[in-house]
Structure 1
Amino acid sequence: MTLSTLRSEARERLAEVLDGARTVALVNFPNHGNPGDPAIWLGTRILLRDLGVRVGYSSAHWDFDAGSLRSAVGSAPVLLNGGGNFGDLYLGQQQTRIEVLRTLRDNPVVQLPQSIHFADPANEARMAELLASHPDFRMMVRERNALRIARERLGLEPTLSPDHALALGARSRTRAPVWPVLWLTRLPGDPEHVDHGEPDDPDVRRVEWLHGVPDDEAGWDLVGRLALRVNRAVRDSWSPGVRGMGLRHAAAERTYTPLAWRWVRRGIDLLSSAEVVVTDKLHGHVLCALLGIPHVVLDNSYGKVSGTLDAWTGGLPGVHRAESGEEALALAHRLRVARA
């Protein structure tokens, strides 16, 4: 597949599950600096724009309010942002998902393309029961293992779709490379971390792209800094049910898109700084593919990275796979030689 066919496929699958809806709510804005999740959010907004669908309400997990959503969009479909948080590893987004399913019984609920992982079978069983009880729930997944889990263990008939970050389309490097190899990897303690045996090499810069966010944000333009200040002020003072929260939510809502673009740009800048990238981050891979940066992909703990490559992106130009850190480094150096 090409990037353009992946975007077309994502648009067609989204149109299919929306079934003609012209207005939606979009919930679970990723209110953090990890570039991958904001890339998904922005890709969804692009696909909705392409389809002529209006977003009448949006929220992060911390400022979601069922009453405000119904006032804004009535019984329109509620879209839950895609990603890798369907399960019990990341409880903020999952708890909002549960609240949406429990409180919005008259709205179709659409889970946008996700990977699925439950560490505790009891949590998975409770989720299956909640999903079965909702009158109109539609599940989208982005790889075949999630498709199997959704069918066999959650009792659903899901729609397989590319990750929505791919809707950002082809991008250009934002800076000239200064590092031979960038090693973008999860750290010990991360629930998706795998010890791939990273080799010691002076040509390698190792990063986890959530680190150093405050320093990077200090260098943003005026619009970005103002959006961040407003967003943090609203979040720090958020008190559900208190008078005036509606106006505060409206202010926070206006910050989501400018923040998302700047967090994604931060990831693009980081990836652009290297000749070749090695990563076990799914959206390290996705953004490299969009940028045309040669890169080597290692898997995460439960296979969402390899699953996405198997289903959609493994054949894109510049994409290479490895099973160990040693293999990845050797391949990265060969790619550097070929690039030269």
Structure 2
Amino acid sequence: MGRPDRAGAAAHDPALWRRRHHLSGHAAAAEALRLSHLTGAPLAHDTIARLAALTHDRLAPLADPSRGYALLDFPDYSNIGDSLIWLGELAYFDRHVGRRAGYVSTTSGFDPDRLKAALPEGPVYLSGGGNFGDIWPRFQTFRLHVLRSLKGRRVVQLPQTILFRDDANVAATRAAIAAHGDFAMMVRDQRSYEFATRELGCEVVLAPDMAFCMGPLAAPTPSRDATYLVRTDQEAAAGRGAVRPPAGIDALVTDWIIEGHTPSFPERVVGAVKRRLDQRPEEARYRARAEAERARGIEMLGAGRAVVTDRLHAHILSLLLGRPHVVVDNSYGKIGGVMDAWTGEDPLVHRAADFDAAGRMLADLLKN
């Protein structure tokens, strides 16, 4: 009699799946930490390896994607941070599942019938981020549509920050989750965890942001003293002080998204032609687009010896690049919540109450 097929058994036994992947997560972390100490890599590498392994330990028990899975909510808009999350999710599935998603979509391109035809069974993952709630309503409308379209099928929301301003929207979300019947919510900060546990009536798991699963990234040679990556949208903090680099410091002040940009008719035509000519599967096209966005972010942040920012993923990307940086929180504490839970103790990270204080901290950093 031949030996039992352990891989096949794990694919059909959730307990075996969880045990195998729990162990592999710890093994990966141990190896990453060992290499970082041997090579003298920055302490940030220890933080990154620890958080990537913890993400695996928290995510793997929620569903078994070994026979196929869907990944929804590709960021088809100009926000580098959401592209970093998407690439972290792809890195996670590449490493721990060993197969690409059987179905991917944007919010506007989601078709439940196409999903069911391409993937008759298997979990559905919703990309993580900072838009669960009603501050960015189109994303929540999409999630509720997914839950109503896929009742009874396992849906896992990858790590999010939650913010609702209207109790009626909380009630609508809670009702959709209850009617769906098989939803798991991952959050990346303690406040969101407490809210979801109290209000949403579903399984809730606290886990790091998925972008850490990309691992450390190669940083370019700096060409200036600093990059200020500063929000210009509704999440920009009120009373944050003047966004003005200290005198004598060569710094670029910029942002990495264009909110509310509506493509012109020629842009829409060119985009449609490009999509028609590109015969690659959607998963490969989305991957390439996200990689281009990541390269743009690395170029922006990596140009500075240090970074000042009020964007969460500029903070995370600075860690991945090994860049010292100063963080000013956004309008509702999103960055602070992630830092309190996961990253605030890393020596590359410095907190400032406003941009005036951040400028003083930056000047001190650049002296070293």
TM-score (structure 1 length as normaliser): 0.85
- Partner of residue 160, structure 1: 206
- Partner letter of residue 64 of structure 1? F
Question: SS in structure 1 opposite 2:93?
Answer: helix
Q: Deviations over 1:156-192 (max 9, x none)?
A: 3311111000111111212x222222211111xx221
Question: SS in structure 2 opposite 1:93?
Answer: helix
For 2:154 and 2:192, locate their aligned partners in 1 and report how far apart those are by CA, in whole Å: 21
- Partner letter of residue 321 of structure 2? L
Q: 1:68 to 1:211 in 2, by over 3 A?
A: closer
Residue 342 (structure 2) pairs with residue 296 (structure 1) = no
Uncovered stretches (5+) of structure 2, i.e. residues with no partner: 1-45, 262-266
1:232 Cα deviation (Å)? 2.8
Matched ranges for 1:47-66 at <5 A: 47-52=92-97, 54=99, 55-66=101-112
For 2:115 and 2:338, locate their aligned partners in 1 and report how far apart those are by CA, in whole Å: 32
For 1:118 and 1:170, locate their aligned partners in 2 and report how far apart those are by CA, in whole Å: 33
Question: SS in structure 2 opposite 1:84?
Answer: strand
CA RMSD of aligned residues (A): 2.6
Matched ranges for 1:10-25 at <5 A: 10-19=55-64, 21-25=66-70
For 2:91 and 2:269, locate their aligned partners in 1 and report how far apart those are by CA, in whole Å: 24
1:194 Cα deviation (Å)? 0.7
Uncovered stretches (5+) of structure 1, i.e. residues with no partner: 215-227, 238-246
1:20 Cα deviation (Å)? 6.1
Question: SS in structure 1 opposite 2:157?
Answer: strand
- Partner of residue 5, structure 2: none
| Alpha-carbon contact 1:75-1:108 (below 8 Å) kept | no
1:75 Cα deviation (Å)? 2.5
1:92 Cα deviation (Å)? 2.9
Question: SS in structure 2 opposite 1:297?
Answer: strand
For 1:231 and 1:46, locate their aligned partners in 2 and report how far apart those are by CA, in whole Å: 30
1:121 Cα deviation (Å)? 1.8
| Alpha-carbon contact 2:244-2:355 (below 8 Å) kept | no
For 2:95 and 2:168, locate their aligned partners in 1 and report how far apart those are by CA, in whole Å: 40
Instruction: Name which of 321, 325, 334 aligns with 2:364.
Output: 334
TM-score (structure 2 length as normaliser): 0.79
Aligned length: 312
For 1:151 and 1:235, locate their aligned partners in 2 and report how far apart those are by CA, in whole Å: 44
Residue 227 (structure 2) pairs with residue 197 (structure 1) = no
For 1:267 and 1:33, locate their aligned partners in 2 and report how far apart those are by CA, in whole Å: 11
1:322 Cα deviation (Å)? 0.8
Q: Where does structure 1 differ by over 6 angstroms across 4 or more consecutive aligned residues?
A: 228-231, 234-237, 247-250
Matched ranges for 1:311-322 at <5 A: 311-322=341-352
Q: 1:20 to 1:186 in 2, by over 3 A?
A: closer
- Partner of residue 272, structure 2: 233
- Partner of residue 144, structure 1: 190
1:250 Cα deviation (Å)? 7.4
- Partner of residue 280, structure 1: 310
| Alpha-carbon contact 1:63-1:249 (below 8 Å) kept | no
Q: Highest Rg: 1 or 2?
A: 2
For 1:231 and 1:41, locate their aligned partners in 2 and report how far apart those are by CA, in whole Å: 25
Q: Deviations over 1:118-154 (max 9, x none)?
A: 1222111111111122110011111111101101122
For 2:195 and 2:354, locate their aligned partners in 1 and report how far apart those are by CA, in whole Å: 27
- Partner of residue 256, structure 2: 209
1:235 Cα deviation (Å)? 10
Q: 1:139 to 1:172 in 2, by over 3 A?
A: same
| Alpha-carbon contact 2:309-2:315 (below 8 Å) kept | yes
Q: Deviations over 1:286-318 (max 9, x none)?
A: 000000100001111111110000111112231
For 1:169 and 1:71, locate their aligned partners in 2 and report how far apart those are by CA, in whole Å: 34
- Partner letter of residue 233 of structure 1? A
1:98 Cα deviation (Å)? 1.1
Residue 216 (structure 2) pairs with residue 170 (structure 1) = yes
